[in-house]
Amino acid sequence: MKELLRSTDPTILAFASALLQGEDIDCFQMDVNMSILEGGIGIFPRRMMVREDDYDRAVRVMTDNEIPLK
C-alpha cells in the first residue's frame, strides 16, 4: 500500500474514495480510529492508501478532479 493523500476533511476523503471506487481502484483509509478518538475536531489527518500497482492511475484520478495530494 502507498499513501495517496492525507486530509483532515472527511468530505474530501469521501469524494476521493467514491472516485477511486468508480475507477475500480481499491483504497483504504488509515487513522480513522485516531480521528474518532480526538473528537472530530480535525487535529489528526486520515490517510488514503492505494495499492502500489494502482498508485499512478489513482494520482491521475485525483489530479483530474482537483483533489490536493498529501
How does the average pLDDT of the chain come out, rounded?
90
In a domain, 42, yes or no: yes
Provide the CATH number for the domain around residue 21. Answer: 3.30.70.790
Question: Which pTM was predicted?
Answer: 0.83
In a domain, 70, yes or no: no
Of 42, 50, 40, 44, which is closest to residue 5 (Cα–Cα)?
Answer: 50
Q: Which structural domain range is residue 22 located in? A: 2-64
In a domain, 48, yes or no: yes
With a cut of 80, say whether residue 43 has pLDDT above it: no
- How much of the chain is helix, strand and coil, in % rounded to 5? 45, 20, 35
Cα separation of 1 and 43, whole Å? 24
In a domain, 17, yes or no: yes
In a domain, 38, yes or no: yes
Q: Which residue's C-alpha cell is 488514503? A: 48
Work out the pLDDT band at 40, boundaries 50, 70, 90: low
Q: Check residue 15 and give its pLDDT.
A: 97
Q: What is the pLDDT of residues 15-39, one digit of tens each?
A: 999 999 999 999 999 988 775 666 6
In total, how many domains does the chain have? 1
In a domain, 40, yes or no: yes
Of 54, 56, 67, 70, which is closest to residue 16 (Cα–Cα)?
Answer: 67
